[in-house]
Chains A and B, each alone.
Chain A
């Protein structure tokens, strides 16, 4: 199929005439017959001819003659020859002799006269063709005058064949001709019914029809079984031309729903050939029946506008989202099939109608921007906040909150003083982030159930605003741990089950934890002490102080308060502290850092004694040298403000890669960048990153240099080179020298409002006071007030608009919910819902 519309049309016309027109013999023109005798003797039994008899040249018949001559060609297509018979002067036979016969044309089949036409009925080509065919197709086209006639015919046809009903304002018009020409082709397949009665038009069309324009209905009587019900009708929406009628009948003849079991890209149906879109309803075996009904429903709605096919997903291996339920194939070549998730049959219909609209606009060479604006506006009321939407989709699920105590203004202080440690989540029950965190919190509660002697509780600030402001909670959510109802520590980490649990776990112990014996200290470094924390696999930090260094110790304790809950901190300042630290070749004051369960302990001398410096240093020291980047830990490394050298791996990285990267990370350039890796199995969102950098996921593993903070360039380490420290270093040198070309650059875009807001100013314009143009000396300006008039005007102008909208939308199809998707009644129903009506 050609993408060009005109080519499509011409091929269609070609198709039409190849199939149905009778091959022409020679050049079509007016035949001349010398005499009536000659003419009648030459008539063949089956052939049809239109003849007129002229004595000599009579001036009155001249314009008629011209018209009839020019219609000869058209009539020839239908096997009708047009003959001019010259009447010799002396001839007084039936056709030549009488004066009035000379003002007529005669239609013969063989030698039998079928009809005689007064010349004033044959005023132009259209009327000639129309009337001649009308006479010829007397049986195929029924002319009726009353509604009862129509009903009678309909009843006779029910269960047998379909009917084409046409109204034309008058016979002999172009529309009449088009109907007759169509009847000539389709007359044996469908019953054609014609009327010129305006009353019948009114009875068959919905709203107030224009009696001066023609109207054609396809009545689906063949499938009609109920004798009481009229046949389903599909009106031709376009003007009545032969081409349009042909198209319409073709479409009506096509199966309502096509069942498809092959790749939709390869499917071609009548609809696509005729330049209409094809809608696929994606079906599965389990829902086949419902889908079939849906497809039929949609097909009836779209009849004449688009085709509908039922595509079985079980038979075709589709590479699309599982929840997609509708696909749209447009006739334009090269346009991929659109797979969509729609919730309502209305959406399918609008989709198709919008498509047609857009196409029309494009054809008219108008700007389509307006339409796009409109489309965007329609999305304004669709939730695009992932957290809010997720929470509201989850709101029906009851949360397991039985392990979480509900605190109120009344019991808050008493509950806090009862437990040694109380975790309180302050939240607002209407706020999405709060509710999302509450879900994680309930998981924490289930996880920690009963253990520890920590009381988990929550305060809904929507119920108890006084309590929340008294506790100085200004943001939702806020989590705090109260110790004996007194001091509290506010949680400042990720809102995730694991992190929350870890915080609650660590908060049980004082921070830093004072270790009394060398054994305890050693056990602590191995992660075995205190035993409650043995399951907690985080880096342990031990501050070792000699009894003399009280300044550093106090700072360390202060830092412990700040990092409480987030870092596992211990402190040892017994007499043998020196011995302990020397084991790790440092001298007090020092920090001992035990990573991964004490297998490696690192000693760091404490030189800075300011609390803030110490906090910063501890945070820095806790970072891994070659970390696996995950969603929760990325922010810690982002804060360093350095470029990332990141290895994307499909799973765990190989030992060789790990070794080389570690060497690199520990090397001299450690300060300049963050060397890290990402496990795509554990952090699948990494695919999203790669897909953004490259159009598809490149072969893995892939090593990238990402300038996160400056410039945003992304460089890809050549895949043909092996990942070794040497190769990487020389590559990095080339990078620095600007010899490499970035594979991608991070978007510099600002985060703009995703969609516009309602412009209430524009809507309320008539009632908005203009800023006064007058200077400030005058007092308050009263607008000229006609009693009641001013306000009433604004009122009607503004109130009318929505009502018009709503009626326009009411006319639209009733719509049915699509299978398996809850119809969004509230969001779809655009009419202003007014609660006073309920």
Chain B
């Protein structure tokens, strides 16, 4: 392979020596290893840089209390490996069945050490090329017209060794702890260093800053031994089962809500941390006050002169002094290593901890720089699962496919089917696909219809944010109409302040499917690919522009969308009406009749029977079809030719409507 020539080649540039690779991946966490796996499978020249001596260094430290909150389901009652990934949030994607997380842990919420071990084995078993103990401390660009993107990426590690790459995949995660500075913040302990031994908190009163899973996990750990715990944060608590967002507070960590709401023991407070101030009294107790009071005080005066809120408002909520204040405010992306020329900018508002990227996961500032993993969560923050292993394993694969097309001329993988398989291929995917399920409303299956709608091409898990660029990004032609298949929750169903257990929350009737609240498949039909402008003008509640037709498959209690009448039949009618054709299956006998009575045949006869692959069906089945009035039984009819021509044919037993559709031959 020509690629091997590049690998390890040294490029002397301006005195410094560069080790060149087509792809550089920063970080050997789950996303970095996942990217490495796809690059390796495709036979690409790549290298992964990891600052630690082993993969997954974040998991070596976090979560501090070692319990992962990503589920590891051992049993689903199904053997379908793709389906089972829907309830396996820890495994990375690979062809090797040994590398399923459930082989590493039997715990529903596994220990973080297991994740570290799993990542190590993933890297070693698949022989991924990871360079450990290499911390990239600087990234800059080198203009070069021949480079893939008009520039090379120059990387420098802690030993001043230099590397050069055509494409840079940043899978560095978000690991820089968020810190808030306010007077007295020096008394605050960080989540990253705070003791995890509950004994250390015995008989103490604790204030926790933050309201995420790390804050609640910390509280959960010491809940039993403290006097009480208060938690302060600007935002309200959001429960993930109410918001459908796995990044919100998970039920496994919410023991404090119990003691707060039941016995007013512990408590939650809303307030801006920026306004806070902490002062330590002589006994070492920590008092909460407001920055406002500190600014007004006489600097020379002692601690006693500082006004406390309770001096004016004697029932001030946090008037009791605390023994400890713990900061659990989460992490942010490390922007510091990127040269200004890369324009790695933080996002705006609540996504400022993530770098700005496009829906294709490419940096807004630099072509050829892709952000993977947790750091790429700005695309679907607080919506889908792109910030978590079970989500970004799919977005990483999508990025890899985009790169394969862009740099290696390998179009997005697709399968071409005859149109008779249209309903089936959709039903198959919505029932088993994990990528669609985890990355709901972000990744979509695309069906590109071929001319005359006799065949179609099926593309899996394409990022819908770049739907308009589909032809360019995938190398597939979208000249005709297309279907986009995604999964959605009901629009007004979930939210922090919504009662998600209200009566009649679930719909059972197919014709009310559009009111489905739980995750269910939605199919968008476009007569032509939406334009970039349409994508820009997107309604904020909608993942896609207004389609020409839309179909919801009604939510299902078992997420099993294979019911012939409730799921498949309405879907078939929708597809039929979009394509203006008849997608029913017919027994060979019906096709035989049509062949002699119609000049055109329905697709299932055309593509099956006429090609000598008709469905003859067993005696019982044909009997059932006759009983259902969908097939005429001619065996018992008398055929005496002397029957008067005007004898009532209606009484010959074809009053049932559907049959008329089958044999409406002559009168038309």
The residues of A with any CB-CB pair to B shorter than 8 Å are 319-321, 323-324, 336-341, 379-394, 397, 408-409, 428, 430-433, 436-437, 439-440, 443, 462-466, 474-476, 492-497, 499, 631-632, 634-636, 638-639, 650, 680, 683-690, 692-693, 695-700, 706, 708, 712, 744, 746-758, 760-761, 763-764, 767-772, 774, 776, 779-783, 791, 794-795, 798-799, 802, 826-827, 830-837
Contacts and interface: CB of A to CB of B under 8 A. Distances in A.
Contacts of B610: 635, 638-639
B448 to A, nearest CB: 16
A767 B491 contact: yes
B143 interface: no
A760 B617 contact: no
Contacts of A826: 565-566
Contacts of A684: 633-635, 637
A631 B614 contact: yes
Interface in B491-547: 491-492, 503-515, 533-534, 536-542, 545-546
Given A324-B653, A386-B584, A475-B417, A754 B576 contact: yes
Given A338-B655, A684-B634, A495 B613 contact: yes
A632 B614 contact: yes
Contacts of B264: none
Given A384-B658, A464-B80, A830-B509, 8 more contacts: A393-B624, A462-B432, A494-B614, A696-B645, A750-B581, A783-B539, A831-B509, A832-B507
A752 B582 contact: yes
Interface string B85-97: 0000000000001
Contacts of A760: 513-514, 550-552
Interface stretch (B151-159, B162-170, B366-374, B596-604): B596-604
Nearest to A440: B618
A382 B539 contact: no
A751 B592 contact: no
A688 B663 contact: yes
Interface stretch (B301-309, B420-428, B478-486): B420-428
B649 to A, nearest CB: 7
Contact of B586 (A337, A386, A767): A386
Interface string B601-630: 111000001111111111011101101111
A770 to B, nearest CB: 8
Please classify how large the interface on chain B is, using the bins under 10, 10 to 19, 20 to 34, 35 or more.
Answer: 35 or more
Given A751-B602, A757-B577, A408 B79 contact: yes
A761 B78 CA distance: 35
Contacts of A791: 491-492
A321 B628 CA distance: 12
Contacts of B515: 798-799, 802
Interface stretch (B106-114, B241-249, B567-575): B567-575
Contacts of A744: 666
B621 A394 contact: yes
Contact of B617 (A440, A830, A831): A440
B599 A746 contact: yes
B624 A390 contact: yes
B551 A385 contact: no
A393 B230 CA distance: 62
B265 interface: no
Contacts of A794: 492
B291 to A, nearest CB: 30
Given A336-B650, A776-B536, A758 B511 contact: yes
B34 interface: no
A746 B598 contact: yes
A631 B573 contact: no
Contacts of A439: 617-618, 620-621
Contacts of A683: 592
Contacts of A495: 588, 613-617
Given A752-B581, A760-B550, A389 B630 contact: yes
Contacts of A379: 657-658
A550 B647 CA distance: 67
B507 to A, nearest CB: 6
A650 B613 contact: no
B80 A769 contact: no
A320 B648 CA distance: 11
B658 A754 contact: yes
A385 B587 CA distance: 10
Contacts of A341: 629, 656
Contacts of A774: 537
Contacts of A393: 624, 627-628
A44 to B, nearest CB: 61
A546 to B, nearest CB: 34
Contact of A636 (B81, B612, B634): B612
A779 B539 CA distance: 11
7 contacts: A340-B656, A387-B584, A474-B417, A494-B613, A747-B597, A750-B600, A757-B573
Contacts of B590: 386
Contacts of B314: none
B199 interface: no
B568 A754 contact: no
A836 B580 contact: no
B539 A781 contact: yes
Contacts of B538: 780
Given A380-B573, A688-B593, A834-B504, A802 B512 contact: yes
Contacts of B570: 380-381, 757-758
B194 interface: no
Contacts of A699: 641-642
A632 B592 CA distance: 9
A747 B668 contact: yes
Nearest to A321: B653
A443 B565 CA distance: 27
B585 interface: yes
Nearest to B596: A689
B35 to A, nearest CB: 22
Contact of B587 (A387, A392, A690, A834): A387
A606 B136 CA distance: 72
Contact of A712 (B427, B599, B629, B637): B599
A758 B510 CA distance: 9
B639 A397 contact: no
Contacts of A753: 573, 576-577, 580-582
A144 B369 CA distance: 94
A380 B582 CA distance: 14
Contacts of A462: 80, 428, 431-432
B639 A680 contact: yes
A319 B546 contact: no
A758 B505 CA distance: 21
A385 B663 contact: no
Given A319-B651, A750-B600, A757-B576, A836 B506 contact: yes
Nearest to B631: A386
A690 B645 CA distance: 13
Given A388-B568, A689-B597, A754-B576, A632 B616 contact: yes
B405 interface: no
Contacts of B551: 757-758, 760
B632 interface: yes
B341 interface: no
Contact of A782 (B431, B510, B540, B545): B540
Given A384-B661, A389-B625, A689-B593, A631 B635 contact: no
10 shortest interchain CB distances as A-B pairs: A496-B616, A833-B508, A430-B562, A321-B653, A753-B576, A769-B539, A684-B634, A699-B641, A386-B630, A387-B585
Contact of A692 (B432, B580, B597, B622): B597
A798 B491 CA distance: 13
Interface in B268-305: none
Contacts of B643: 696-697
Contacts of B603: 751
A589 B135 CA distance: 74
B120 interface: no
A769 B539 CA distance: 7
